[in-house]
Amino acid sequence: MSLTLQEAEKIVDGALAKAAELGIKISAAALDAGGRLIAFKRMDKATWASVYGSQGKALASVSFGQTSGNLQARAEAPIIRGIAHLEGGHMIPSQGAVPIIRDGSVVGACGVGGGTAQEDEDCANAGLKAIS
């Protein structure tokens, strides 16, 4: 089962709603199982770097089927470095993204950039709750 555009938009909107609650400015991205962008939003006054952070962390999460923060300690491991290099260097193994798993399969990920690492992950989790 794949992630629909409607679901991806709800995820991104859920992440932005959490950011508003926290009083932070973020970018949020929803990617499909292949790591391709489905939906994206950047809040007014969110940093330009948050655009890349949100998508890069989501790519790491969907690639390995786990939160991007779980990959942080192993970021320099040969397998993670190698995959990141081969996919073009866009992957960011740092806290702030969560995978979307259905029936045991990874169907996408939500990534957030702009807050602290924990705030980003909290916003990404809020995005997932928007479709559950």
Question: Model-level pTM?
Answer: 0.94
Structure tokens at 33: 């199982």
CA distance readout (Å), 86 to 82, 107, 110: 6, 21, 22
- Number of structural domains in the chain: 1
C-alpha count within 13 angstroms, C-beta hemisphere, residue 88: 4
Q: Give the pLDDT score at 118.
A: 97
List, for residues 37-61, the tens digit of each pLDDT value. Answer: 999 999 999 999 999 999 999 999 9
| DSSP bridge partners of 29 | 40, 111
Tell me the CATH number at 57.
3.30.450.150
Range of the domain at 78: 5-129
pLDDT recorded at residue 132: 86
- Average confidence score pLDDT of the chain: 95
